[in-house]
Amino acid sequence: MHSRPPRLPGVNLTHDQLFFLNYAQIWCGTMNDKEAIRKLRTSEHSPGPIRVKGPLSNSYDFAKAYNCAPGSRMNPHEKCRVW
């Protein structure tokens, strides 16, 4: 039987929550409007907030980790599934 690993001292998050928090922080950043428009026009990647909110709002694991209410913005009833 496997025991759950201890939580980080002073951090009241589960390991699953830390995983998703790290994913979101990778895409976290600020920029002025001019730079945002330039990136929208030239980058092949979606803007950071879309790269986080899109996949995570469609993730059953994220909703479970953060106990998101069914039908909420981050746990819609209808999720987009590719596989």
Instruction: Tell me, yes or no, whether 60 lies in a domain.
Output: yes
In a domain, 51, yes or no: yes
Span 27-67, pLDDT tens digits: 888 889 999 899 999 999 888 888 999 999 999 999 999 99
Mean pLDDT value of segment 59-79: 97
Burial label for 75, CB within 10 Å (0-12, 13-18, 19+), is: buried
Domain for residue 40, yes or no? yes
pLDDT at position 61 is: 96
Contact 27, 48 (CB under 8 A): yes
Residue 54 inside a domain? The answer is: yes
Give a yes or no: residue 9 inside a domain: no
Structural domain of 58: 14-25+32-82
pLDDT of residue 28: 85
Does the residue 49 lie in any domain? yes
What pLDDT digit, counting tens, does each position of 7-16 carry?
888 889 999 9
Per the structure, how many domains does the chain have?
1
pLDDT value of position 1: 67
